[in-house]
Chains A and B, each alone.
Chain A
Amino acid sequence: MNYLQEGFVWLNDPLNWTNPGGLLDRLAEHLIVCAWAVLLGCVVAWPLGIWLGHRGRGGGGVVVLANLTLAIPTLAMLTILPLTPLGFGKPPVVVALAVFAVPPLLANAYTGLRQIDPETKDAARGMGLSGGQLLRRVELPLSVPYLAAGLRTAAVQVVATAGLAAFVNGGGLGEIILAGFGIGISNGGAGQIVAGGIVVALVALLVEALLAGVQRLVTPPPLRTGRRARPTAAAPAG
Chain B
Amino acid sequence: MSFLSRAPAPAWPLAAPADDGPGNPWFSWRYVHDNADEILSALQFHVGLTARAVIIAMIVALPLAVVSYWWRPLTGPILALSGILYTIPSLALLALLAPAVGTTTDTAVLIALVLYALLVLVRNALAGLTQVPPEVRDAAAGMGYGRFGRLWRIELPLALPGILTGLRLATVSTVALVTVGALIGRGGLGDMILGGFRNNFYKAEIMTGTILCVGLALVLDLLLAGLGRVLTPWTRERKL
A73 within 8 A of B: yes
Cβ contacts under 8 Å, A73 to chain B: 175-177, 179-180, 189-190, 193, 210, 213-214
Q: Which of A50-58, A110-118, A130-138, A181-189 contacts B (4 or more CB under 8 A)?
A: A181-189
Q: Is the interface of B mostly helix, strand, loop or mixed?
A: helix
B contacts with A, residue count (CB < 8 A): 53
Cβ contacts under 8 Å, B177 to chain A: 73, 236, 238
B229 smallest CB distance to A (angstroms): 17
Q: A67-B172, A200-B89, A208-B87 are in contact. Are A164 and B183 (CB under 8 A)?
A: yes
A36 smallest CB distance to B (angstroms): 18
A83 within 8 A of B: yes
Q: Residue-by-residue, is A62-86 near B (CB-CB < 8 Å gives 1, otherwise 0)? A: 0000010011111110011001000
A178 within 8 A of B: yes
Cross-chain contact B4 with A204 (CB below 8 angstroms):
no
A237 within 8 A of B: yes
Cβ contacts under 8 Å, A174 to chain B: 91
B108 smallest CB distance to A (angstroms): 11
B45 within 8 A of A: no
Q: A168-B197, A193-B98 are in contact. Are A71 and B180 (CB under 8 A)?
A: no
A120 to B1, CA, bound (A): 65
Could you say which of B4, B180, B221 contacts A75, with CB atoms under 8 Å apart?
A: B180
Cross-chain contact A163 with B1 (CB below 8 angstroms):
no
A167 within 8 A of B: yes
B27 within 8 A of A: no
Cross-chain contact A194 with B95 (CB below 8 angstroms):
yes
A214 smallest CB distance to B (angstroms): 16
B6 within 8 A of A: yes
A205 within 8 A of B: yes
Q: Which of A137-190 contact B (CB under 8 A)?
A: 156, 159-161, 163-164, 167-168, 174, 177-178, 180-186, 190
Could you say which of A1, A164, A178 contacts B100, with CB atoms under 8 Å apart?
A: A1
B178 and chain A: residue at smallest CB distance: A73
Cross-chain contact B218 with A75 (CB below 8 angstroms):
no
Q: Which residues of A contact B (CB under 8 A)?
A: 1, 3, 67, 70-76, 79-80, 83, 156, 159-161, 163-164, 167-168, 174, 177-178, 180-186, 190, 193-194, 196-198, 200-201, 204-205, 208, 234-238
Cβ contacts under 8 Å, B5 to chain A: 182
Cross-chain contact A76 with B172 (CB below 8 angstroms):
no
Cross-chain contact B213 with A70 (CB below 8 angstroms):
no
A156 to B99, CA, bound (A): 26
Cross-chain contact B173 with A177 (CB below 8 angstroms):
no
Could you say which of B87, B98, B179, B209 contacts A204, with CB atoms under 8 Å apart?
A: B87
A234 to B179, CA, bound (A): 18
Cross-chain contact A185 with B1 (CB below 8 angstroms):
yes
Q: Residue-by-residue, is B205-218 near A (CB-CB < 8 Å gives 1, otherwise 0)? A: 01101100110011
B84 within 8 A of A: yes
B85 and chain A: residue at smallest CB distance: A236
B11 smallest CB distance to A (angstroms): 14
A163 to B95, CA, bound (A): 11
Cross-chain contact B88 with A79 (CB below 8 angstroms):
no
Could you say which of B4, B93, B213 contacts A197, with CB atoms under 8 Å apart?
A: B93
A36 to B177, CA, bound (A): 24
A178 to B184, CA, bound (A): 10
B103 within 8 A of A: yes
B189 smallest CB distance to A (angstroms): 8
Cross-chain contact A79 with B196 (CB below 8 angstroms):
yes
A164 to B92, CA, bound (A): 10
Cβ contacts under 8 Å, B89 to chain A: 159-161, 163, 200-201, 204, 237-238
A46 smallest CB distance to B (angstroms): 23
A127 to B71, CA, bound (A): 50
B57 smallest CB distance to A (angstroms): 12
Cβ contacts under 8 Å, B203 to chain A: 83
A178 to B203, CA, bound (A): 23
Cβ contacts under 8 Å, B31 to chain A: none
